[in-house]
Amino acid sequence: MVNKVEICGVNTAKLPVLSSQQMEELFRQVKAGDKTAREKLIKGNLRLVLSVIQRFTNRGEYVDDLFQVGCVGLIKAIDNFDLSQNVKFSTYAVPMIIGEIRRYLRDNNPIRVSRSLRDIAYKAIQVREVLLNKHSREPSLNEIADELNLPREEVIFAMDAIQEPVSLFEPIYHDGGDPIYVMDQIGDEKNQDSNWLEKISIREALRKLNNREKMILTMRFFEGKTQMEVAEEIGISQAQVSRLEKAALNHMRKYI
Assess contact for 79 and 103: CB atoms under 8 A: no
Contacts of 101 (CB under 8 A, 6+ apart): 52, 53, 56, 66, 69, 70, 73
- The confidence score (pLDDT) of residue 9 equals 62
CATH topology of domain 190-253: Arc Repressor Mutant, subunit A (1.10.10)
Assess contact for 208 and 251: CB atoms under 8 A: yes
Continuous H helices in the chain: 20-31, 35-44, 46-53, 63-80, 89-107, 115-135, 141-148, 152-161, 193-206, 211-217, 227-234, 238-253
Q: What is the 8-class DSSP label of residue 140?
A: P
- The confidence score (pLDDT) of residue 189 equals 60
Which CATH number is associated with domain 115-161? Answer: 1.10.10.10
What is the CA angle 24-29-33, rounded to 5?
Answer: 145
Residue 135: other Cβ atoms inside 10 A: 10
Task: Divide the 256 residues of the chain into consecutive groups of 10 and give the mean pLDDT of each group.
Answer: 53 76 88 89 89 78 84 91 84 89 76 75 88 88 92 87 70 68 65 66 83 88 86 88 88 80
- The confidence score (pLDDT) of residue 59 equals 66
Helix (H, G, I), strand (E, B) or coil at 171: strand
pTM: 0.45
- The confidence score (pLDDT) of residue 239 equals 87
Nearest by Cα to 125 from 147, 108, 100: 147
Helices 89-107 and 63-80: angle between axes, nearest 10 degrees: 130
**What is the C-alpha to C-alpha distance for residues 16 and 46, in angstroms, rounded to an integer?**
8
Phi-psi region of 224 (alpha: psi -120 to 50; beta: other; left: phi over 0): left
- The confidence score (pLDDT) of residue 1 equals 38
Residues in the chain: 256
- The confidence score (pLDDT) of residue 31 equals 87
For the chain, give every residue range classified as CATH 1.10.10.10. Answer: 115-161, 190-253
Nearest by Cα to 56 from 5, 99, 113: 99
**What is the C-alpha to C-alpha distance for residues 118 and 99, in angstroms, rounded to an integer?**
14
Class of the CATH-defined domain 6-107: mainly alpha
Assess contact for 183 and 168: CB atoms under 8 A: yes
